[in-house]
A and B are shown apart, each in its own frame.
Chain A
């Protein structure tokens, strides 16, 4: 008897946790996105799918912009993170954990605080820009705060450790004997990298992309602090719909639409990478 029940009992704690803190809120939000009404007179479930259509058509520029920013951020991060992870994994020697700790050190400071500190660095008359303007390298009315560059810069900076660590883990797992074998077979360092190391690191890259593309696309703090009204991201729209207009159905509908788009994107990427099962890769 207990043998048959054993699997169910084993998943009970985790399952309950997921049920209470993931499934229930998701279902509640899904239901809310189909409701109509307002805060004072209450909401009724009317299966109003029009909310989705209206939301997506009104804010399609923001959705596309957010996905673009997320994509650019992810690509830049791969370019930046790979050398760092490679260096730590192959040349780190005994101080690997120290280097990793240094990378994680900024995380001890709050996310918002770090973004605001970027605002100080990038403001028009900051200690960085003012001297450059004085000596004429930059034009006097040059401003970087409020542009897409500032927002993408902030996003890249804030999520970089999430890209460095998975790639490091993947590189760390590479059996040095495989690299040695490649050298024995007359592969140059570039060829070794291209044909052996990089493909073996791809699962790490995929995990890193998962951990940065999704939060970066739905981020709202960087655009709020470093951006302007021309860099509004969908995360800000959802927050404004929720906080400023108490338009809960639209906010929920936009959240689900964003989730669906990101899921489709991730699954497409997983297919392109050649992994049959996204979970298998993430678990590796």
Chain B
């Protein structure tokens, strides 16, 4: 006989439930949208890979219709101007343009990474004038068309007073995009209070007696140069093989525990605080630290060689006040302004006549000031001779992006530990 069927609710639900539930529908549509978006993604390139000098009409097109606005935002590195800004005050007196000066650049890599996305999107970065080093990032700025082409007619002081070497530089021939701010030397700085033997060579940075007290730079261009020079290689002619050898030498230094940390410009604070006794350093920083804080740090250009670089003023292409910016740029090539700047920052000035002016200031001064100004005028670190230049090398320049990535992949692991 028939029994009343045991009604299984699970079976009932399975047979009557919708095959495709709401949750499944949402899930599938979400995943497919994501997959489509994935396939459609791609970041467009910014420009060509060859060096570009702007055409005549490009310059005219850029500067057409741009007027003086009465203010300019200046981005610079620390220790590149007297904190009281006497030159900027004089500029405002002469031209009526107000300057907002900010020391926001500490390393080229991060600065480029921060500004490139906005500049490529055509947005202002909040600055009209910035100081960038000749190197990998400078080249990328030029290749990606992120710098404003300079109008030579507005750079009369530079034409009259700028040094000849700066008008025919390899990284910016004809000053299409930049004018020099200062050149500097990367060498070794040490605290003679803690380091009893005199330091003369790059090899001294590898001495085991300085274990844990050595500071190196985190910029791979700087670090790589030191690694190559200590092996006796000229960075400009180096091959990937040389880079590997330099990297292993640097790794030796790191594995032996000799390096305390890889610094950006903050090495100068570490030296002052005694955290490191000897460091890879930029020439002018040391003198400024000694003057401002009374320390007794010493700077040497190592026997194997040092690195020379030039920091340049450039106008980002989305600058809001380019006319004011180029006026400020040209202002720093007045001989007396260049002289007072060099007196404070103690870096190589691009205006050779400034040496005479500094000597005049020294003659007019007395006592400590006189000695100091004389030492600046005679310093090979502010006015190097040809013999000094022969020991100094530029950063390694790269022909292709692939070469640069290879270089970075060799030296980065050292900094990143």
Contact = CB atoms under 8 A, between A and B. Distances in A.
B45 A31 contact: no
Interface string A233-250: 000110010111111100
Interface residues of A, number: 43
Interface in A160-207: none
Contacts of B259: 229
Contact of B43 (A24, A32, A146): A32
B408 A38 contact: no
Interface stretch (B32-40, B147-155, B164-172, B314-322): B32-40
Interface residues of B, number: 45
Contacts of B47: 40
Interface string A34-46: 0101111111110
Contacts of B262: 229
Nearest to A4: B22
B401 interface: yes
Contacts of A58: 413
Interface string B249-281: 000001000011110000000000111000000
Given A232-B416, A243-B109, A246-B116, A40 B144 contact: yes
A42 B412 CA distance: 22
A146 B46 contact: no
Given A24-B37, A242-B113, A247 B46 contact: no
Nearest to B259: A229
A247 B408 contact: yes
Contacts of B113: 242-244, 246
B273 A243 contact: no
A99 interface: no
Contacts of A232: 416-417
Interface in B5-52: 22, 30, 34, 37-39, 41-49
B34 A240 contact: no
Contacts of B34: 23, 27
B114 interface: yes
Contacts of B37: 24, 27-28, 31
A230 B417 contact: yes
Nearest to A54: B409
A124 B274 contact: yes
B41 A27 contact: yes
Given A23-B34, A27-B34, A232-B416, A247 B22 contact: no
A45 B41 CA distance: 7
A45 B42 contact: yes
A228 interface: yes
A50 to B, nearest CB: 13
Interface in B112-145: 112-114, 116, 140, 143-144
Given A32-B41, A123-B275, A246-B116, A228 B261 contact: yes
Given A40-B49, A40-B144, A42-B46, A62 B416 contact: yes
Contacts of B109: 243-246
Contacts of A61: 417
Given A23-B30, A39-B140, A243-B109, A28 B408 contact: no
A44 B42 contact: yes
B175 interface: no
B38 A244 contact: no
A33 B113 CA distance: 17
B39 A236 contact: no
Nearest to A225: B266
B415 A240 contact: yes
Interface in B37-79: 37-39, 41-49
Which 7 pairs from chain A and chain B are nearest by CB? A42-B45, A31-B41, A244-B109, A232-B417, A243-B113, A43-B43, A229-B417
8 contacts: A35-B43, A38-B401, A228-B261, A229-B415, A232-B416, A240-B412, A243-B110, A247-B405
Interface of A: 7, 23-24, 27-28, 30-32, 35, 37-45, 58-59, 61-62, 123-125, 143, 145-146, 228-232, 236-237, 240, 242-248
